[in-house]
Amino acid sequence: MSPTVVLEWMFSPADYFEAPIEISQDDYTIIIADGKAEAKIDSAIYQSKPSMRNELHDELNARFLAEMLFSHREYHLFSSMTCIHPDGRKDQVMKCEPCNFKVTGHTINFQKCDKNGNTVLDTKRDRIDKRNNISGLVSRYLANDDVLKSLFKSWKAAVKDPDNELVHLYEIRDALHRKFGNNKSALSTLEKFGLTRNDWKDFGNLANKASLRQGRHRGKSDGALRDATDDELFMARRIAGTMIEAYLRHIDATADSSRSEMTAK
């Protein structure tokens, strides 16, 4: 019997994910629930792959970044590694970093049933399914797509720096503008995946033209500055999140097309 390596991550807030998550791969399975993520790996496999710990941490971090799109909450991870020997002896190493997070309200769930009692709408189930789908895409493409990395860097900065939130969120639109060459090309590509022209325009007006303390051109305002309303911030986050999701679906569709071409050959 070979030793087992157990990688653990504790995270806060403990309720960061709405439901438990299981990530299954050939060499490991990660279970994420109630403030803890755990991966169990045969020590022989772990020792044969020196970069495995970092790869699993990156996989987990991608899941948290994807969830941040929906929760708009900061998170903190600290990890430990335990090697369990056949005789029961344990070796453990722990690593942690400073932490801060903020608390927000709860989401309302509802179900709709037909006359026979069959569920035809379940907002919690649909929301979790969507989040799992987005998390999978982030995990698949984040490591190798520099644009996607920059989008999540800006989103994370917006969460951590609310005084400049619109500045950071607008970086997402700027990055997509640069990626596709201009606004027209960005829109024509991302409209296929849920982004609308009105959203693109409204987002620009809010971040650039409104006299807001969180906006991009505070020094150019002729009148007094005011704080963005909750509705304005909600709109900005929704549109910026839609931009990231649309880009994710674009790169996934492009990858699918490339795989189909390779199969055809």
Percent of the chain clearing pLDDT 90 (strictly above): 44
Q: What is the spatial distance between Cα 155 and Cα 43, in angstroms, rounded to a whole number?
A: 37
Percent of the chain clearing pLDDT 70 (strictly above): 76
* pLDDT category of residue 102 using cuts at 50, 70 and 90: very low
> How confident is the model at residue 145, as a pLDDT?
96
Contact (Cβ atoms closer than 8 angstroms) between residue 166 and residue 155: no
- On the CB side of 59, how many CA atoms lie within 13 Å of its CA? 22
pLDDT higher than threshold 60 for residue 219? no
pLDDT higher than threshold 80 for residue 264? no
State the chain's mean pLDDT as an integer: 82
> How confident is the model at residue 99, as a pLDDT?
41
pLDDT higher than threshold 70 for residue 18? yes
Place of tokens 């201009």: 182
> Beta-strand (E) ranges in 49-179?
76-84, 90-95, 111-113, 119-122
pLDDT higher than threshold 80 for residue 77? yes
- Condensed to tens digits (0 to 9), the pLDDT of residues 229-247 reads 999 999 999 999 999 999 9
> How confident is the model at residue 147, as a pLDDT?
97
Pairing of strands 111-113, 36-42: unpaired
> How confident is the model at residue 44, as a pLDDT?
84
pLDDT higher than threshold 50 for residue 96? no
pLDDT higher than threshold 50 for residue 106? no
pLDDT higher than threshold 50 for residue 103? no
> How confident is the model at residue 221, as a pLDDT?
59
Q: Which amino acid is at 169?
A: L
> Beta-strand (E) ranges in 109-256?
111-113, 119-122
- Condensed to tens digits (0 to 9), the pLDDT of residues 118-130 reads 665 556 666 778 8
- Condensed to tens digits (0 to 9), the pLDDT of residues 124-167 reads 666 778 888 898 999 999 999 999 999 999 999 999 999 999 99
Report the pLDDT averaged over residues 106-126.
57
> How confident is the model at residue 88, as a pLDDT?
60
- Condensed to tens digits (0 to 9), the pLDDT of residues 19-68 reads 899 988 888 889 999 999 988 888 888 888 888 888 888 888 999 999 99
Residues 6+ apart with CB under 8 A from 97: 76, 77, 78
pTM, rounded to two decimals: 0.72
> How confident is the model at residue 121, as a pLDDT?
54
pLDDT higher than threshold 70 for residue 84? no
